[in-house]
Chain A
Amino acid sequence: MSHSSDLIGSDILGYLRAHEHKSLLRFITCGSVDDGKSTLIGRLLYESKLVYEDQLAALEADSKKVGTQGDNLDFALLVDGLAAEREQGITIDVAYRFFSTERRKFIVADTPGHEQYTRNMVTGASTADLAVILLDARKGVLTQTRRHSYIVSLLGIRHVVVAVNKMDMVEWSQERFDQIVAEYHTFAAQIGLHGITCIPMSALCGENITSHSAVMPWYTGPSLMEHLETVVVEQDNQAKPFRLPVQWVNRPNQDFRGFAGMIASGRIAPGDRVRALPSGHEAILSRIVTHDGDLPHAVAGQSVTLTLDREIDVSRGDVLVAAAQPASVADQFQATLIWMHEQPLLPGRPYLLKVGARTVTATLSAPRHKINVNTLEQLPARQLELNEIGVCNLNLDRSIAFDPYADNRETGGFILIDRLSNDTVGAGLLQFALRRADNIHWQALDVNKRSRSTLKHQRACVLWFTGLSGSGKSTIANLVEKRLHANGRHTYLLDGDNVRHGLNKDLGFTDADRVENIRRVAEVSRLMVDAGLLTLVSFISPFRAERQLARDLLGDGEFFEVFIDTPLAEAERRDPKGLYRKARAGELKHFTGIDSPYEAPENPEIRIDTTELSAELAAERIISMLHDKGVFDSDDDSALAAL
């Protein structure tokens, strides 16, 4: 086995030379503790002599204390990690294990198998070349086997081992094994899973783990370890077209400009023609620079620095591709999403999307459907919850270079990040670009925002009033508009209640509807600004993310967040429309401040404390802020002073 080589003792230098040529295999194990997964991994570590004496002593002690195998070693305890998990007796995260043999080093992603840990399994599967799917010979193909297989196929793993474990419990029966294999193949064909190897084994007894089992002479295939050592996975990525997401532009001096990154697929050599995307500029590769000297060629998986024969504009996030086989460029996609956060996916809310080295803003449509991971049925859905998988359309704020995930994991897989907490909330697999992006072009117009604004002697902008219901938003916004209007300004006031009677009358008050409500108003206010108007928006707009969306739609200096800061108790005391009373009585659901949150602005352009300022004084403050920010032409200063 592993490090028992005679060379270690006799010829260590020879041993080291031999081991420099080992390759690496990353695999994931899928199954539950009941299937003997931890036992299997513990056994692999033990058999490859990677369990040291002190660990073994601890294992013996732990086996006696909390083990489940009587007087025998409980291998599962070797791989149980965090203290909380040991107490609960389950594995709740992805743990990475390492072992090596004469031929290969292995990285094992050990993930829990329960449905509520789908995100963990997806995470572990994303970097795996191969999956070991465990099942219990007594139970055969179960719902969870189907779920694991579906995720393995979804994440694009091309090599699958079905480990039919606990053969000792079915008296090493060939008939039982054949039955399970037939059943599994039928199912695998349905989900397009190929490259399957089925191995009968007993992790507990060590049969067919590292060497061929004597108790199952009818099985003539490889043991698990033999298979893991010999399966060929490396060509998968090298045979694809060249892709290198540019991570960093290396520019130590005027004479050197290198593009650094890891080759995601394919191979490259000096003289090859490459294209930078999304710009489309082309150049010839000059050098592959590394600290160890220039390379004659480089392949997928290597981190290199490339120089080109001419100056073309390439920056971080761009992708260098083979000019003859370029990636696609688009800004609208259909994608499969795996939701990974307790906060559900809200259609319409902007998230950050990171693919390769590029981060853009993405808004997501309502799911076209979600997928029941147990039955593979497509179900209707309005949002995605933690661990749910669905298909959505994405709309990006700029075009990106991409490949379909099925063709290339690194240029087709992305993560979604919440813009406020910065948590990674989801992962996605790009399927294809939506044609719409190609067909709807921006019409370049001769009369533009600037010319319209200039005619009105003002700089168009949005005053976005946010605050609790009854805080005084509409009263103050109304006063501000009256004064501006009186002074000859061109204005428009979008009021929450009024817009809900028309444009947004199809929307209710769930979180998802509130997001869509604000998205529409933000888009409308952008058009108003384009028309050259001073646009006042008076909406509760309780979520920071949506106010940020509105801010992002507008240019620098065009968005002023006006926080009408009235404490809940005070707003509830005023209760001008009697809504708080109704909400307290349970007649109104999702009422902001009562049973729906209000996220106060962190850095508003202006904050109005209505417990200190009258509405008139507040309006004056806001107008003088606009004056300070240069919204009005300077020759109007005297007129303003009279306001």
Chain B
Amino acid sequence: MHPLTHLQRLEAESIHIFREVVAECENPVMLYSIGKDSSVMLHLAVKAFYPAPLPFRLLHVDTTWKFREMISFRDQLAKQLGLDLIVHINQEGVAQGVGPFTHGSAVHTDIMKTQSLRQALNHYGFDAAFGGARRDEEKSRAKERIISFRSAAHRWDPKRQRPELWSCYNTRINKGESLRVFPLSNWTELDIWQYIHQQNIPIVPLYLAAKRPVVRRNGTLIMVDDERMPLEPGETPEMLNVRFRTLGCYPLTGAVESNAATLPEVIQEMLLARNSEREGRVIDHDSSGSMEKKKQEGYF
């Protein structure tokens, strides 16, 4: 009698979640963020429905400030796998010229990400959205359900969470309400990397170290990804060997100096490193409990 490995059990659980939601919901969508967690999520979804094609569309909420390499990776993958990918941009935000440099990270994230996501979910009438969040990322996520209920206003009420028992999920909603579904809830960052390595899942090259132009701001290394980045007086980009632990809007994503140019080296560095993954994200530093607040407002 062979016990299943931890990755086999995690994979089976995620597949179970995908199938349950697709069987019970009318119009599900996968939020595809191009990052490593999304890559794993997409890989698992393909497995869940094989040999049938993916029974739902993918949605990328593009803030227009993503790394250029992310966008080209996205478009190439969509073409290669024949994905039905929707790219949504908050055009009102674009018209108002909203961006992280002019409006600050909080306003930019709210308008180009949170509001934009709501716009898209409302526009297409999606009743369930798969997201790649994991419980090990942050304290308030540790308590979120796998199937997370949202009111018609997309709000998360920690007090009205439905109990989740066994692998029996309640996906029922009334009109206008929706679900956020997190198939990777029980995966850790290490599990994700191990699985990418084991399954040979393609990821954006930004995760691997290379010489890239960066500037140092408030102790964070920001990559100068395009000409929209205003340089402060006396600031010149330097070419450093860096990689990224998470990917988002380039002005809001800190790089780490590294020589890990292969996946095993990245995992090696991570295991030896002493800083948690979300540290590179600028938005979490606003205030204690900031993620919880954002989630109540509809952030993923």
Residues of A within 8 A of B (CB): 3, 8-9, 12-13, 15-16, 19-24, 52-55, 79-84, 93-98, 100, 104-105, 107, 119-120, 122-123, 126-127, 234-235, 238-239, 247-248, 250-252, 256, 258, 260-262, 289-292, 299, 301-303, 305, 316, 340, 352, 354-357, 409-410, 413-415, 417, 422-424, 427
Contacts and interface: CB of A to CB of B under 8 A. Distances in A.
Nearest to B3: A234
Contacts, number: 194
Given A97-B142, A415-B170, A126 B165 contact: yes
A82 B276 contact: no
A251 B47 contact: no
Contacts of B276: 52, 54-55
Given A53-B275, A303-B12, A415-B165, A96 B142 contact: yes
B250 to A, nearest CB: 22
A16 to B, nearest CB: 6
A80 to B, nearest CB: 8
A312 B163 CA distance: 36
B172 A19 contact: no
A8 B268 contact: yes
A20 B8 CA distance: 9
Nearest to B273: A52
A262 B47 CA distance: 13
Interface in B269-300: 271-276, 279, 288-289, 292
B167 A410 contact: yes
A-B complex: 7 closest residue pairs judged by Cβ atoms: A234-B3, A303-B15, A252-B52, A52-B276, A53-B274, A126-B165, A24-B6
Nearest to B139: A81
A45 B97 CA distance: 44
Given A19-B194, A96-B142, A305 B272 contact: no
Chain B binding surface, main DSSP class: helix
B135 interface: yes
Interface in B20-60: 20, 22-23, 46-53
Interface stretch (B75-83, B84-92, B183-191, B232-240): B183-191
Contacts of A84: 158
A81 B20 contact: no
B68 interface: no
Nearest to A55: B276
B167 A22 contact: no
B265 interface: yes
A354 B166 CA distance: 12
B102 interface: no
Given A8-B268, A15-B268, A262-B12, 13 more contacts: A21-B5, A55-B276, A83-B289, A98-B135, A250-B49, A258-B51, A262-B15, A262-B16, A289-B50, A303-B19, A357-B23, A415-B163, A427-B165
Contact of A301 (B4, B135, B268): B4
Nearest to B172: A422
Given A52-B276, A81-B142, A410-B167, A305 B268 contact: no
A23 B274 CA distance: 25
B161 interface: yes
Interface residues of B, number: 70
B95 interface: no
A305 B264 contact: no
A122 B165 contact: yes
A52 B275 contact: yes
Contacts of B105: none
B127 interface: no
Contact of A415 (B10, B52, B168): B168
A55 B277 CA distance: 10
A417 B4 contact: no
B62 interface: no
B168 A355 contact: yes
B103 interface: no
Nearest to B274: A53
Contacts of B136: 97-98
Interface in B92-121: none
B197 to A, nearest CB: 6
Nearest to B53: A252
A12 B7 contact: no
A340 B161 CA distance: 11
B140 interface: yes
A126 B52 contact: no
A313 B12 CA distance: 25
10 contacts: A15-B271, A20-B198, A22-B5, A53-B275, A81-B143, A84-B158, A247-B23, A261-B16, A262-B13, A290-B50
Nearest to A420: B174
B71 interface: no
A93 B158 contact: yes
B23 A248 contact: yes
B3 to A, nearest CB: 4
A302 B12 contact: yes
A95 B143 CA distance: 4
Contacts of B51: 250, 252, 256, 258, 289
B219 to A, nearest CB: 12
B211 interface: no
Nearest to B51: A252
Interface centre among B140, B166, B191 (most CB of A within 10 A): B166
A251 to B, nearest CB: 7
A102 to B, nearest CB: 12
Nearest to A8: B271
Nearest to A427: B165
A594 B6 CA distance: 57
B7 A20 contact: yes
B272 A8 contact: yes
A303 B186 contact: no
A427 B169 CA distance: 12
Interface in B146-173: 158, 160-168, 170, 172-173
Contacts of A414: 168
Contacts of A292: 47
A567 B185 CA distance: 49
Contacts of A352: 172
Contacts of A238: 1
A427 B47 CA distance: 31
A20 B5 contact: yes
